[in-house]
Chains A and B, each alone.
Chain A
Amino acid sequence: GAGVSQSPSNKVTEKGKDVELRCDPISGHTALYWYRQSLGQGLEFLIYFQGNSAPDKSGLPSDRFSAERTGGSVSTLTIQRTQQEDSAVYLCASSPWGDSNQPQHFGDGTRLSIL
């Protein structure tokens, strides 16, 4: 597709389970970002990838959160031992390269609900 694709679109899981969220950026985009959004709120930065490297992981809330990117394309955000406070919409964005003046193209997000 032409845009950023995220899967699954919705995920409901029990507290304590691990979850994996996937992001397919726009082809050719080297910069990839993960954000978290609580209901009706602004976005909280989690992690930034340039190619397969993550120069900025400063937004990851705890060591239960990790992310990787392979082949300079697909990225996976993993949350281990999920807690109820992890419930949110997780958004992925990409841009051609990391530059402050470039727009970020967002996927529609994964809505994660922890029971």
Chain B
Amino acid sequence: DSGVTQTPKHLITATGQRVTLRCSPRSGDLSVYWYQQSLDQGLQFLIQYYNGEERAKGNILERFSAQQFPDLHSELNLSSLELGDSALYFCASSRGRTGELFFGEGSRLTVL
């Protein structure tokens, strides 16, 4: 158990819909990262937060947004969903801005 909690574990929805994925980092970890893993794109970095502030942005679509709240949990919002958004979405956390990442078990999104 990494200590990172992601909900929901599985989510099935239709094209055009909006979903919110939630992540609770390990106790004391200030950095939160979001990754998307699909068969054709591999593991893609989406966005990183540190202590509530956005630190780095990767290949995150404009239809996607994220935030980190004062209690350090984070949410990833995916809107106007397309079939290609079907993937495993991972959240990870780390104590600071360097060092090992601790990954959650992921949220598997299926868009039909």
Q: Do A and B come from one complex?
A: no
Question: Which residues of B are interface residues toward A (Cβ below 8 A)?
Answer: none
Chain A interface residues (CB < 8 Å from chain B): none
